[in-house]
Amino acid sequence: MFYRKIKDDEIPLELNLIWSLNYERKSLVLTDHDPNEAHFVNFEFDQLEKKLEKLNTEEEKALKIVNEKYEDMRKSLMTLISLNKN
């Protein structure tokens, strides 16, 4: 058994269908955490602060990407709407 992060372009249902068509005995489990990561109970306070800082930075980057994609899609839709009005 191994764990990996699902790629942005992968579709869970499609993965399962491909595996079954290829007679592969695999399963997919979605989690909100990485089971391979260390447990935080044994960490020192400064280690926890660094981890939290890293997670906050990752979250900010991810939010920025989502917001940029949203804004691009909104602009595209507004352009299409204005073209349809004419």
Return the pLDDT at 36.
66
* pLDDT at residue 85, as a whole number: 85
Which residues are CB-contacts of 3 (< 8 A; sequence separation ≥ 6)? 34, 35, 36
The CA-to-CA distance between both ends of the chain, in Å, stands at: 57
Q: What is the pLDDT of residues 37-61, one digit of tens each?
A: 767 778 899 999 998 999 999 999 9
The pLDDT value recorded for residue 28 is 80
User: Using CA atoms, how far apart are residues 62 and 53, in angstroms rounded to an integer?
Assistant: 14
pTM score over 0.85: no
pLDDT at 68: 96
Q: Domain extents for the chain?
A: 12-85
- Encoded tokens for 44: 């020192």
> Which positions ≥6 away from 36 have C-beta within 8 Å?
3
Q: Which of 4-8, 17-21, 79-83 has the lowest mean pLDDT?
A: 4-8
Measured CA to CA in angstroms, residue 79 lies from 10, 33, 66, 67, 71 at distances of 29, 39, 20, 18, 12
pLDDT for 81: 92
